[in-house]
Structure 1
Amino acid sequence: MQEGAPDPGLYDYHPYRGRRKIAWPEGKTCAVWVAPNLEYYEIDPPANPHRKAWARPHPDVTGYSYRDHSNRVSHWRMADAMERHGFPGSVSLSVALCDHHPDVVADGAARGWEFFSHGIYNTRYSYGMDEAQERAIIEDSIATVERATGQRIRGWLAPALTHTPRTLDLLAEYGLDYTCDLYHDDQVQEVKVASGRLASIPYSLEVNDHYGFNVYGMSGREYADCLVRQFERLAAEGEQSGTVMCIPLHAYLIGQPHRIGPFEEALRHIAADPRCWKARAGEIVDAWRAQQ
């Protein structure tokens, strides 16, 4: 048989069956964390030779203004629905938002949300960056978020999910605890890094509202049903060993008037289930680490 490409060595292989039991607090079986993406998209970003920021020619007034709905209107709709049902946010933050729209960041901080970095802008990609540029973005993220919120970031979701071969190693070197950029598991897992340690917390593309609405073409009610079905399965399997469900959100999508109602119904259903542990990302990683 022809030899294939080598395993990239990002993590060890552990089949789902037969793992050591993970127990969540108070006998909960599924840790549910909500990840609002608080983002800033530039109307006319610098070109990256590896990927276009907008499908249309720049400046893209339509793309920019559509996403700006998050920071003017729909953030508050989404955040209020989360708060009514006891879900704290773990924020995937375009760090430039601290300067462009500090009111949005301040609102999340006042609600007790956790912040981690989603890069500086969601229109600037890691492709082609040298090490000095990537270090500068991590250092900027740490300093800017701490200045704006008083928190030192613990986690990372790469800007527009773009990476370099050194990204994970650099995150561990700077003392970050978790990455959201691996989609390989429904439990927290260890990432293999050059030094230090880094956990992979389950994020999601499957129940991400961007994929639900823009890729899979779901209605608001279909997306809400998808969230409920995701939780029910993970909560049942979590009786054997605690699972993790992430609900990644973009306010300009989920916070539209015609979608927010079904979404809140899904939150109500999940929050009322005694198997649900409503947690922040860092709390989930800490509870998992304590059992390793």
Structure 2
Amino acid sequence: MREGEADPGLYDFRPYRDRAKIAWPEGKTVAVWVSPNIEFYELDPPANPHRKSWAKPHPDVVGYSHRDYGNRVGHQRLVDVMARHGFKGSVSLSIAMCQHHPEIVEQVNALGWEFFSHGAYNTRYSYGMDEAQERALIEDSIQTVRAATGQTIKGWLAPALTHTPRTLDLIAEYGLTYTCDLYHDDQPGPVHVKSGKLISMPYSLEVNDHYGFSVYNMSPRAYAETLIRQFERLAAEGETSGTVMCIPLHAYLVGQPHRIGPFEEVLRHIAADGRAWITRSGDIADHFLANDYDAAVADAARYAREAR
């Protein structure tokens, strides 16, 4: 292996075919969690030399107002259909929402939704941060969400999916237990960090509504059918060992009038199926840490021995 090609060592390789069995509560085969991204995008944010906030020169009125539709209109549609079918959200939160639109945060907190940090704004990135700046962001996330909701965040999704080499170590040091920033598996698994205990929480780019509508150019019906196929496969495989399905959403996309109907049919399908543990990301993390973490570590050690 040439220099620079080494495995970064974020997590161990564990073949999907041969792992300790994960057993979800009540014999469910797939843990399903819905992750609404409740975000704030700035009209004309500070420039980051590593990445532009908007494709157009600032201020990008079109991009800003399109996303603002989510907080003003689409959010309520999403809340309504989720409540109708018994889903509580696990919110990927731009913590600035606690100041800009506190009524939204208060509303879903009262509904029993969970919050984890998605940075301060989705137009400010971790790229280029020094350690003190990144620590300040994590501390601000913990303190702001606790003050606004009474909750202590357990998870992290980096703002606009931007990281530094120290991000995972730092969030573990501050007591967070899961990251949504690794897309390598359909089950939770241990992450190597310098201190604490951190797991990867299966999130998704493939069935994220941003990718579905803005990258893959799916119709609302095609996106809904994709989610149902994802669920059916993971529920079937989960009979061997429990799987996780995340549905990451943005209210400015899925909350549009022509999209919310097909999406509601997905929730209806999953709720009626009977194989889904409909839950929140923090509950999945707590269950895995209490029941499956040690077995996953042992699996990795066994595989490493056998591969020698």
Q: TM-score of the superposition, structure 2-length normalised?
A: 0.94
Aligned residue number for residue 34 of structure 1: 34
Give the alignment of 1:81-120 within 5 angstroms.
81-120=81-120
CA-CA distance at 1:12 after TM superposition: 0.6
1:158 aligns to 2:140 (yes or no) = no
- Evaluate the alpha carbon distance shift between residue 164 and residue 3 of structure 1 in structure 2; reply closer, same or farther with a 3 A threshold: closer
Give the alignment of 1:1-292 within 5 angstroms.
2=2, 5-292=5-292
Q: Distance in 2 between matches of 1:175 and 1:59?
A: 37
Deviations 1:23-74 (A, max 9, x none): 0011000000000000000000000001000000101111111101111111
CA-CA distance at 1:190 after TM superposition: 0.4
CA-CA distance at 1:3 after TM superposition: 5.9
CA-CA distance at 1:15 after TM superposition: 0.4
Q: Distance in 2 between matches of 1:286 and 1:135?
A: 24
CA-CA distance at 1:291 after TM superposition: 1.6
CA-CA distance at 1:244 after TM superposition: 0.1
The residue type equivalent to 1:87 in the other structure is: F
Deviations 1:229-287 (A, max 9, x none): 00000000000000000000000000000000000001100111110110100111111
Q: Distance in 2 between matches of 1:176 and 1:261?
A: 35
Q: Distance in 1 between matches of 2:232 and 2:104?
A: 32
3-state SS of paired residue (1:263): helix
The residue type equivalent to 2:62 in the other structure is: T
The residue type equivalent to 1:280 in the other structure is: R
Q: Which sections of structure 1, spanning at least 5 residues, go unmatched? A: none
Q: Distance in 1 between matches of 2:106 and 2:262?
A: 27
Aligned residue number for residue 295 of structure 2: none
CA-CA distance at 1:108 after TM superposition: 1.1
3-state SS of paired residue (1:290): helix
Deviations 1:181-209 (A, max 9, x none): 00000000000000111010100000000
- How many equivalent pairs are there? 292
CA-CA distance at 1:110 after TM superposition: 1.1
CA-CA distance at 1:123 after TM superposition: 0.3
Q: Distance in 2 between matches of 1:275 and 1:4?
A: 44
3-state SS of paired residue (2:128): coil
- Structure 1 stretches of 4+ moved >4 Å: 1-4
Could you say what the CA RMSD is over the residues aligned between the two structures, in angstroms?
0.9
Q: Distance in 1 between matches of 2:21 and 2:27?
A: 12
Q: TM-score of the superposition, structure 1-length normalised?
A: 0.99
- Evaluate the alpha carbon distance shift between residue 4 and residue 46 of structure 1 in structure 2; reply closer, same or farther with a 3 A threshold: closer
CA-CA distance at 1:288 after TM superposition: 1.2
Q: Distance in 1 between matches of 2:134 and 2:53?
A: 19
Deviations 1:127-155 (A, max 9, x none): 00000000000000000001111101110
CA-CA distance at 1:4 after TM superposition: 5.8
Q: Distance in 2 between matches of 1:160 and 1:282?
A: 21
3-state SS of paired residue (2:291): coil
Deviations 1:85-144 (A, max 9, x none): 111100000000100011111111011000000000000000000000000000000000
- Evaluate the alpha carbon distance shift between residue 257 and residue 18 of structure 1 in structure 2; reply closer, same or farther with a 3 A threshold: same
